[in-house]
Structure formats: C-alpha cells, structure tokens
Amino acid sequence: MYSSIQKTEMSLIEICFHGRGGQGAVTAANLLAFAALKSGNNGVQAFPFFGAERRGAPVKAFARIDNKEVFLRSEITHPDIVVILDTGIMDIIDVTKGVKKKGIILLNTSRQPHDFSFPCQVATVDATSIALDNNILVGGTPVVNTSMVGALVSLLDNVNLASLEQAIHDRFKGKQAENNILAVRQANKEVMT
C-alpha cells in the first residue's frame, strides 16, 4: 500500500488529467479544486490545457492544491499525480513525462497496479465499470470523471470525500447528483494501490 501524499507546510500538489474530449477531464479538475477548497486549502486552481479541444480528441486538464494562495500561472510540467481517464491515450501520449519520482499515476482500468511499469507509483480503479454500475451515461457512453476524482481523493491527505460530495451537489442536480455520489464513494473504496 502506497502512502498518501502528506500535507506539509510546502504542500503544493500539481495534478494532470488526461482524457478525451467529452469524458469530462476539465470537469474532473474543477470538481477536485472545489473539493480541495472546501477541505480547507486556500490555494486551488483548475484549468484546461490551453488548446482547441473537440469530442474524442486527447484532452488535458490541470489542478493545483496548496494551503496558501497559488500565484503560479504557468503550465504544469512536473506533476505529482497524473490521472488517466482513458488508457488508450497512453498509445499516443507519454503520460509519464515530467512526473515526479514519488508521484502517482492513477489509471482507469480493471487491471492491477503491478501490471504496469512506470517510473513512479501506480494506482488503479475500474471507473468504467463503476460508471456503468451507477448508470452514469451520456449518449450510452459511461462517463468516468467523477469516479476518477473519487479514487483520486483517497490518494490525497488534504482533500476529503465529504467535500467532494459537496462539490458534486453543487454541480449536478437530483438523480444525476445521487448517482455520481454513489460512484464517487464506490471508487474511493475500490481504488487499488
């Protein structure tokens, strides 16, 4: 079991999300930032890769979490955590680029962490199955972003699940919010490290 990233005085955590247009990578970054703020981190940021994305194309989104105001405005080149919403991306993008040695790559897959050899720590969660279990579909396709953030939160000491649920309530309504909260709880428990 890998230890979670520890919250320290100099606790800036930089996170990169890889997915495809339409999978909700940007929403994932925003949900995380909201949850991190509600968990008491004064410095949070979420931003998309500054490009012209479209549905199906590779998409990147970023988040920063710190206990004090974040003044950085530059891109994230050395992430602490990389979240892969779609492992197919790994055929075309080097997702390990710049990742810190003690960093974590969190993958959406039914496979185990030891099935992957990366120059950093690995965690996995079967977010696609979790999205299907909880009926989180858009146009018949499972949407994994909330499940991935649910799993991610279990790897962070400074963001709690209750804040993420609050973020989901803020973003979604009714049955959609309920389903996403169930997915987030399930992913949070089922993440493998």
Partner 1 sequence: MIVIDTGNNIAALAAKMARPKVIAAYPITPQTKVVERIAEFVEKGELDTEYIHVESEHSAMTACIAASATGVRTFTATASHGLLLMHEMLHWAGLSRLPVVMVNVNRSIGPGWNIWSDLNDSLSQRDTGWIQFYASSNQEIFDNVIQAYKIAENEEIFLPAMVSYDGFILSHTSMPLDVPDQSKIDAFLPAFKPGWTLDVEHPITHGNIVSPKPYMDIRYSMEKAMKKAQKIIQEVGEEWGKKFGRPYGLVQEYRCDDADYVFVTMAALAAEAKVAVDNLRDKGEKAGLINLRTVRPFPYSQLKYDNMIVIDRDISPGLGGIIYHEMKKLNYTMYSFIAGIGGVDVSYKDIERMYQLAQDDKEGWYPLEVK
Chain contacts with partner 1 (rule: CB under 8 A): 29-30, 33-34, 37, 42-48, 50, 52, 70-75, 77
How far apart are the C-alpha atoms of 12 and 4, rounded to whole Å?
A: 14
CB of 77 to partner 1, least distance (A): 8
Nearer to partner 1, 48 or 58 (CB): 48
CB of 175 to partner 1, least distance (A): 22
CB of 76 to partner 1, least distance (A): 10
CB of 52 to partner 1, least distance (A): 7
CB of 35 to partner 1, least distance (A): 10
Nearer to partner 1, 31 or 123 (CB): 31
Find, among 45, 112, 54, 101, the residue nearest to 72 by Cα.
Answer: 45
Nearer to partner 1, 33 or 182 (CB): 33
Q: What are phi and psi of 133, to 5 degrees?
A: -55, -35
Nearer to partner 1, 13 or 131 (CB): 13
Q: Which long-range contacts does 100-109 make (Cβ < 8 Å, 24+ apart)?
A: 103/79, 104/2, 104/5, 104/80, 104/155, 105/81, 106/81, 106/82, 106/148, 106/151, 106/152, 106/155, 106/191, 108/84, 108/144, 108/147, 108/148
Nearer to partner 1, 69 or 94 (CB): 69
Query: 55: which strand partners?
Result: 21
Written in H, E and C, the secondary structure of 87-112 is HHHHHCCCCCCCCCCCCEEEEECCCC
**Which residue has 């018949």 as its token pair?**
140
Nearer to partner 1, 142 or 172 (CB): 172
CB of 171 to partner 1, least distance (A): 11
